[in-house]
Amino acid sequence: MILFGGSIVIIFVVIAVFCPLLSPYDPYQVNLYDRLQSPCKAHLCGTDNIGRDVLSRIIYGTRVSLIIGVVATLISMIFGLFFGVISGYFGGYVDKMILCLIDIMLAFPGLLLAIGVAVAIGPGLLTLFMALSVVGWAGFARMVRGVVMAAKEQVYVEAARAIGVSDIGIIIKHILPNCVSMVIVLATLKVGSFILGEAALSFLGLGAQPPTPTWGSMVSTGFAFLHSAPWISIIPGLAIAVVVIGFNLLGDGLRDVFDPKLEANESRR
Partner 1 sequence: MLYYIIKRILLTIPVLLGIATITFILLFLVPGDATLCVVGERVDKVTMELIRKERGMDKPIMERYINYLSRLACLDLGRSYSTGARVSKAICERFPNTLRLAVAAMFVAIIIGIPLGILSAVMRGKFVDYICMFLAVFGVSTPVFWFGLLLICVFSIYLGWLPASGMGNGDIQHLVMPALTLGLHSVAFIARVTRSSMLEVMGEDYIRTARAKGVPEYIVILRHAMKNALIPVITLIGLDFGSYLNGSVLTETIFGWPGLGRYAVEGIMKRDIPIVMGTVLFSAAVFVMVNLVVDILYRFLNPRIRV
Judged by the rule CB under 8 A, the positions of this chain that interact with partner 1 are 100-101, 103-105, 107-113, 115-117, 119-122, 192, 196, 199-200, 203-206, 216, 219, 222-223, 226-227, 230, 233-234, 237-238, 240-241, 244-245, 247-249, 252, 265, 268-269
Q: How far is CA 3 from CA 10, 230, 252, 265, in A?
A: 10, 32, 11, 23
Q: How far is the CB of 193 from partner 1 (least distance, A)?
A: 9
Q: How far is the CB of 265 from partner 1 (least distance, A)?
A: 7
Closest CB to partner 1 among residues 176, 225: 225
Query: In residues, how long is the chain?
Result: 269
CA distances to 155, 213, 227 from 181, in Å: 21, 34, 47
CB of 222: closest distance to partner 1 in angstroms? 8
Closest CB to partner 1 among residues 176, 245: 245
Question: Cβ 175 to partner 1, closest distance in Å?
Answer: 28
**Secondary structure of 140-204 in HEC code, one letter for each residue:** HHHHHHHHHHHHHCCHHHHHHHHCCCCHHHHHHHHHHHHHHHHHHHHHHHHHHHHHHHHHHHHHC
Report the residue number, 75 or 111, with the smaller CB distance to partner 1.
111
Give just the sign of the alpha carbon dihedral 45, 238, 130, 206.
Answer: positive
* Min CB(247)–partner 1 separation in Å: 8
Nearest to 211 by CA among 49, 17, 67: 49
Nearer to partner 1 (CB atom), residue 41 or residue 269: 269
